[in-house]
Structure 1
Amino acid sequence: MTNIKEIPFRYDQVGSFLRPDALKTAREQFLDKTISAEDLKKIEDQAIIELIDNQIKNGLKAVTDGEFRRSWWHLDFLWGLNGVEQTTPEHGYQFNEVETRAASYQISDKVTFNPNHPFFEAFTFLNEHTPEGIIAKATIPSPTLLFNRKSDTFTYASYTDEKVFIDDLAEAYNQTILKFYDLGCRYLQLDDTSWGMYTGFIENAKTEEEIKHWQQQCEAGVSVVNQLLEDLPEDLTITMHVCRGNYKSDWAIAGPYDHVATYLARLNIDGYFLEYDDERSGGFEPLAQIYKNGPAKKVVLGLVTSKFPTLESEDNLRKRISEAATYIPLTNLCLSPQCGFASTEEGNHLTEDEQWAKVRLVVDTAKSVWNDA
């Protein structure tokens, strides 16, 4: 029987945290050119050191830098890859009720590994300031974000063949992850909005052609993720957070996991962070498919919303975990907030105290459910 890895932990977290006021002010001052990049870094450093301490005080076994050096959960990383350029479109991303700031990317050349990617220095700082017995967790966006498209036509700069593009993208990510490993990373999470998008697009498709297109996109997603995971060290845990949009407490995507469960089950990852904080995600039935195809994988249930301050009932959380355990063994389940608290620097509409109360609820509930927590 294949052993289940300890990571992800019974109580875990997705990655981003609310930026403290001092950091928000410093970023504004840097943009206004009233402080230097060196000044900003010193403030970021101090904020991250304090955040590490707060995560540990609130019971977490894996800590992140809160994504404090980023403006976006995904774009700051993608812009750091060779062949990917920053762009400013006319409009931002349209969520359920709000539109984000306008920022995006374009593929301008062959996509390759960047050995000087700024995220490496950021992880080194996190790892050096994480005490013994605690795991430093790296979070980066999934490569699937770079080839989502609504048209069957594929053209990206020097690419006319999607297979060549996927191969290059997977190689760039594979080398990137190996670099993180060399820097001491043993827990890395791929944040992926694509699967959430596909659930919504398939759910709302009006024709069989539309469904077929998005299923082809799912196949491409399986291909690129499994390619990038090839020949990675056995003591490196890779998880995936399937996100449904997180901007100023708003969401972007709705649709049950039923449409993508068979594809998720084929990914050679160790665990999934799945959002289940409201009815947009559907039921727990798809967990049975994931378990069937990957009995060593864990599913981290995102039952505690990171979008709003009201605390969930611990009794209700326990009931929902029990319900999920009718489709996948309890030993394969964990608990976390549904998403990060600040996927962009604006953050969600709750206070830092309310954020930490959510984290403690996750920890306390998990300890009451699992004896090995």
Structure 2
Amino acid sequence: MAALKQPPYAYDIVGSFLRPARLRKARAAFVTGDISHDELTAVEDECIAELVEKEKAAGLRAVTDGEFRRAMWHLDFLEELGGVERIDTTDWSVEFKGPKPKGAQLRFTGRIGLGDHPFLAHYAKLRKIVGNYPTKMTIPSPSMLHLIPCVRGKASFDPIERYQDEQVLFDDIVATYQDAVRAFYDLGCRYLQFDDTSWGEFCDVRKRRAYEEAGIDLDGVTRRYVATINAILEARPADMAITTHVCRGNFRSTWFSSGGYDPVAEVLLGGANYDAFFLEYDTDRAGDFAPLAHVKDQIVVLGLVTSKFPELEDEDSVIARIREAESYVPLERLRLSPQCGFSSTEEGNELSEDEQWAKVALVRRIAERVWET
């Protein structure tokens, strides 16, 4: 079979990695004012350079910065957009099945825009560290910019005058993300991923019921999200791959949503024009493969290896599940990855760095057996 060298690759990753101890120490020192921002950045640069070498040694065909400059996978990006403000709160609207992350909400203070976003400089630094080796950049999906304040926070959402008409809000989200796509492309990015927990929530029967009881038209929201995503993807150059990762929660190896893809499969998998879908399939909470029948001609990256726990999956069992997925998507359009990143927040999942790399190695071994890469 072909080497499957175009992104996503036969064996791939979602993006985040466990933060080294000295990086966690430096971030804590920065918070307390014991080191400067420049000193923190120097530690981040060193740790990312070391991570890149480990990613290359692991055989990954595109490397990330591990999200080492972030505290959380999504808020660090969203709060730096123009017209967006983060509000720390003890009232966290997402109930994780275990430890709870720091609570936060977003509100709009003016017209949303990309501006001189720091993630552009972060990516430029990654490119400088990496050289000519392929890179992957991850940012939160545009859906998250609406979901957090307008769906999760609907009860207290008070739109500014500009966004009294919600369509104007969606139009500004499209323009902002189109600017982001172009800006990352101009910096050399050819592999961009939108991370998204909204679809995981919309798969959950209990959450769907709660949202509907709150007066939210979920069918309307999901269609609008896909229309927004597709409008953004119109700005994608022909030689740029844009994928999405659907997540049900990953904070410190826990989760907050459960349910198969059936409720969103037709709208998302059958309607969104992403180049590929990274889909969690590490537990039965994600349901079966039948919803994959809605996928058009895109790639599906099966998240069959968990990033939450150190125990290694049985290779033959994972291969059997890939063969099962072939009933819905041909093998040449299937790929393999961990189900999520290893550190969606700076706290990280409940496994060691060595165990993290053992998971990556397992994904590679299985992919080489299946696709003969």
Q: TM-score range by the shorter chain?
A: over 0.9
Q: Which amino acid aligns with 2:71?
A: S
| 2:239 is the counterpart of 1:235 | yes
Question: Displacement, 1:5?
Answer: 8.5
| 2:48 is the counterpart of 1:44 | no
Percent sequence identity over matched residues?
A: 46
Contact 1:203 / 1:255 at 8 angstroms: preserved in 2?
no
Question: Displacement, 1:90?
Answer: 2.1
2: distance between equivalents of 1:198 and 1:207?
9
State which of 270, 282, 289 in structure 2 corresponds to 1:277.
Answer: 282
Q: Pairwise mapping of residues 58-207 of structure 1 onto structure 2 (< 5 A)? A: 58-92=58-92, 93-114=94-115, 116-132=116-132, 134-148=133-147, 149=151, 155-158=158-161, 159-201=163-205, 205=209
Q: How many residues align?
A: 363
Q: List gaps (5 residues or longer) in structure 1.
A: none
- 1:11 aligns with 11
Question: Displacement, 1:176?
Answer: 1.0
Contact 1:9 / 1:334 at 8 angstroms: preserved in 2?
yes
- 2:255 aligns with 251
Sort the Cα spacing of 1:165 and 1:5 in 2 relative to 1 into closer, same or farther, 3 A. Answer: farther
- 1:340 aligns with 341
1:82-132 deviation line (CA, Å, top 9, x unaligned)? 010021112334212232112232112111121x11101100111122243
Sort the Cα spacing of 1:154 and 1:104 in 2 relative to 1 into closer, same or farther, 3 A. Answer: closer
Contact 2:191 / 2:240 at 8 angstroms: preserved in 1?
yes
Contact 2:201 / 2:207 at 8 angstroms: preserved in 1?
no
Q: List gaps (5 residues or longer) in structure 2.
A: none
Q: Which amino acid aligns with 2:180?
A: T
- 1:310 aligns with 311
Q: Structure 1 runs of 4+ off > 4 angstroms?
A: 150-155, 201-204, 206-212
Q: Which amino acid aligns with 1:227?
A: A
2: distance between equivalents of 1:368 and 1:362?
10
- 2:332 aligns with 331
Contact 2:182 / 2:235 at 8 angstroms: preserved in 1?
no
Q: Which amino acid aligns with 2:140?
A: P
Question: Displacement, 1:203?
Answer: 7.4
Contact 2:192 / 2:243 at 8 angstroms: preserved in 1?
yes
2: distance between equivalents of 1:83 and 1:212?
24
Q: Which amino acid aligns with 1:237?
A: A
2: distance between equivalents of 1:338 and 1:234?
27
Sort the Cα spacing of 1:121 and 1:207 in 2 relative to 1 into closer, same or farther, 3 A. Answer: closer
CA RMSD of aligned residues (A): 2.0
Sort the Cα spacing of 1:245 and 1:263 in 2 relative to 1 into closer, same or farther, 3 A. Answer: same
Sort the Cα spacing of 1:131 and 1:317 in 2 relative to 1 into closer, same or farther, 3 A. Answer: farther
1: distance between equivalents of 2:368 and 2:5?
18
Q: Which amino acid aligns with 1:277?
A: D
